[in-house]
Structure 1
Amino acid sequence: MAVFVALGAFLMTLAGGWTAQRVTDRRHLVLGLAGGLMLGVVGLDLLPEALEAAGGEVFGVPAALLLFVAGFLLAHLVERLLTGRRAGHGGDEHGHRAPEVGLTAAAAMVAHSAMDGIAIGAAFQVGESMGVAVALAVVAHDFADGFNTYTLASLYGNARRKALVMLAADAVAPVAGAASTLAFTIPEQWLGGYLGLFGGALLYLAAAEILPEAHHEHPARSTLLCTVAGAAFIWLVVGVAH
């Protein structure tokens, strides 16, 4: 049942990636929307789930929040290292971004989608009603995942073919994740810790990369409205799912 339901996430991910491809002539609006979606996913979906699942504190701070900060710093470190390496080889002398950063970010989205599938399978292990509720939330926000995966890969100058490969991997990941739960059960605290870490990395990409790029050449109100709309859409999804 979990694998069958995860096929819905597969289709929604592809729909999100297809949408991102079709609006290349409005790139600033795409990036503004992607930034809002990512902000909404982190603040309204990932972080609350991480705080609830991870539990425990380390020196008075919830473990999920520590991992959230660690994820933010890790994303910053990875980007600096990859960008510096590209500059050292003369590949960034015109300010072009390192394609490896985009592929790394897209790969993180794929890993997240796999964890989404695992979450579906684990929820069905608890009960069918729980599985359906989690599946609805995953399927709904996987449109944003597909949209963001393609956008992240293509934003950094990767060829369209590579972006499509990452999109396909992101679509298959939740199905594979759900299937894997037929063999094992993931501890809830581990899942919460992962969500916190991934949330920090995603917030860095939204705040330090996607949104500044969206407003760089087109600082229009329409771009800002797209960002607000993206965050509001995730709020609606989370509200309906709960």
Structure 2
Amino acid sequence: MVGYILIAVLFGNIGSVMLASLLLRIGSHKLQQLTKHINAFAGGTLLGAAFIGMLPNAVKLGGFQVSYAILGGILFFFLIEKVMLWRICADEHCDRHSKAGALMLMVGDSFHNFLDGIVIAAAFLHSSSFGVVVALSVFAHEIPQEVADFGVMIKSGFSKRKAVFYNLFSGFTAIIGALLAWYWGVYTQMAMPFILAVSAAGFIYIALADLIPELHRRSSFGQSFTQFLLLLAGISVIVVSILTKP
């Protein structure tokens, strides 16, 4: 089991860093348009994973009292966004990037990746197929974040190679979070309803507060329709992944 967890974490976090570094070869205008499309797809995967995967399982395991954990999770992510500039921000000119230096961004991203590792491990402890769904959602929403972070670091004077190294380094905190969640497996299982509820709250918060608002900037009817289709595509990927589980 731990092997599958580590592979999923490497795919979800390290894989997104590597893909984002390859996307930097694209021209800035095309990259901006592509990032909007990735935002739409990622938002769909997050909403699908939260509402179709995490929340039903949380309620099944813990009853409707997990609603308090969902509300608490939303408030928690709001607070850490304010305190740690943790925001998922696909625009390198947003407040998160303009107010924080490159190293501060790495601190926030490291904490975010640590939480991702816990979420992926908890999902695999629930079921392998559900772990794959969560890892896919993490991979999708990390790509636009990493692209924007690369832009900030390069503007701050980092070489592309050094920017990739620092982002990979922050990505490895996900492995620490995953291993801790796996090591404390009994306690993780006991807390599973609340871990799933808080994780769902985080996915919903990221999708609705950070990713989807980016789609409303200067969008024509054609762009909006494409973004809506990509949202549905992201949700559909999660639905298919859950329905086809062994």
TM-score normalized by the length of structure 1: 0.70
Task: Quote how far apart the aligned CAs of 1:80 are.
Answer: 4.2
Partner of 1:196: 197
Distance 1:114 1:203 in 2: 17
Task: Quote how far apart the aligned CAs of 1:118 are.
Answer: 4.5
Matched, 1:8 2:11: no
Task: Quote how far apart the aligned CAs of 1:52 are.
Answer: 1.8
Distance 1:236 1:209 in 2: 25
Query: Which runs of 5 or more structure 2 residues have no equivalent in the other structure?
Result: 25-30, 86-92, 154-162
Partner of 2:42: 34
SS at the partner of 2:187?
coil
> Contact (CA 8 Å) 2:181, 2:188: kept in 1 or not?
no
Distance 1:241 1:165 in 2: 33
SS at the partner of 1:215?
coil
> Contact (CA 8 Å) 1:18, 1:147: kept in 2 or not?
no
Distance 1:140 1:95 in 2: 29
- CA 1:228–1:109: 2 relative to 1, 3 Å: farther
Equivalent pairs counted in the alignment come to 211
Task: Quote how far apart the aligned CAs of 1:203 are.
Answer: 0.9
Distance 2:218 2:192 in 1: 39
Partner of 1:89: none
Partner of 2:157: none
- 2:66 aligned to which of 64, 71, 85: 64
Distance 1:145 1:32 in 2: 14
Task: Quote how far apart the aligned CAs of 1:111 are.
Answer: 1.8
TM-score normalized by the length of structure 2: 0.69
Matches within 5 A, 1:25-174: 25=31, 26-55=34-63, 62-81=64-83, 96-98=95-97, 99=100, 104=108, 107-120=111-124, 122=125, 134-155=127-148, 159=153, 160-161=163-164, 162-170=166-174, 172-173=175-176
Paired-residue identity, %: 17
Bigger CA drift: 203-212 or 98-107?
98-107
> Contact (CA 8 Å) 1:54, 1:190: kept in 2 or not?
no
> Contact (CA 8 Å) 1:34, 1:148: kept in 2 or not?
yes
Distance 2:107 2:238 in 1: 24
- CA 1:110–1:148: 2 relative to 1, 3 Å: farther
> Contact (CA 8 Å) 2:119, 2:199: kept in 1 or not?
no
Distance 1:228 1:211 in 2: 13
Task: Quote how far apart the aligned CAs of 1:19 are.
Answer: 4.0
- CA 1:167–1:222: 2 relative to 1, 3 Å: farther
Q: Which amino acid aligns with 1:164?
A: L
Distance 1:101 1:44 in 2: 31
Partner of 2:217: 216
Task: Quote how far apart the aligned CAs of 1:43 are.
Answer: 0.9
Task: Quote how far apart the aligned CAs of 1:194 are.
Answer: 1.9
- 1:226 aligned to which of 217, 221, 230: 230
> Contact (CA 8 Å) 1:37, 1:230: kept in 2 or not?
yes
Partner of 1:90: none
What is the RMSD of the two structures over their aligned residues, measured on CA atoms? 3.2
